[in-house]
């Protein structure tokens, strides 16, 4: 029993020490005119879908909820955001070549049609990001018109 208390205390100390290693939540400088919504002149209904289901991980408009400040959860979230932005960053859409834009549009609607996006792990904490079948269909159809 004494050994379990020592292990528990040791884990608590490690968890406390981890809190001193914070993630970077700063937003890099970018030109808002290069944003996907601006570049495509997205209709209001599409903007709502983009903001609720895509922009948190795929733009510089990430929201960091309270639990994103707790290590190691914060590291996991930051890694997801970094990977999302690396794969597709709507904030710098205007800097993509036409070929890359077209490829990214295809990937977007394929991921949506296959139910890969938004990710299940994201939806667990952000149920509001789940798209209805109607939203998904209209969003995919709109994305296809952009190509």
CB contact set of 3 (below 8 Å; sequence gap of 6+): none
pLDDT score recorded for residue 11: 87
User: What is the mean predicted confidence (pLDDT) over 17-45?
Assistant: 92
pLDDT digits (tens, 9 = 90+) for 39-95: 999 999 999 999 999 999 999 999 998 988 999 999 999 999 999 999 999 999 999
- CB 23, CB 74: distance < 8 Å: yes
Show contacts of 17-24: CB within 8 Å, 24+ apart.
18/71, 18/72, 19/70, 19/71, 21/71, 21/75, 22/69, 22/71, 22/74, 23/68, 23/74, 23/75, 23/77, 23/78, 24/78
**DSSP code of 47?**
H
Could you tell me the pLDDT band of residue 16, with boundaries at 50, 70 and 90? confident
User: What is the mean predicted confidence (pLDDT) over 122-140?
Assistant: 94
Q: Which helix (H) or strand (E) holds 140?
A: helix 133-146
- CB 77, CB 24: distance < 8 Å: no
Q: Nearest to residue 61, comparing CAs of 45, 95, 38, 44?
A: 38
The model carries a pTM of 0.86
């Amino acid at each position: 029993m004494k050994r379990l208390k020592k292990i528990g205390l040791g884990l608590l100390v490690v968890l406390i020490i981890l809190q001193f290693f914070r993630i970077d939540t700063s937003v890099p400088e970018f030109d808002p005119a290069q944003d996907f919504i601006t570049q495509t002149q997205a209709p209001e209904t599409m903007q709502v879908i983009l903001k609720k289901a895509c922009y948190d991980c795929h733009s510089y408009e990430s929201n960091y909820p309270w639990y994103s400040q707790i290590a190691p959860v914060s590291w996991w979230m930051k890694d997801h955001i970094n990977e999302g932005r690396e794969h597709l960053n709507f904030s710098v859409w205007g800097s993509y070549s036409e070929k890359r834009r077209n490829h990214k549009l295809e990937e977007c609607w394929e991921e949506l049609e296959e139910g890969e996006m938004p990710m299940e792990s994201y939806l667990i904490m952000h149920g509001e990001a789940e798209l209805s079948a109607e939203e998904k269909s209209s969003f995919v159809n709109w994305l296809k018109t952009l190509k």
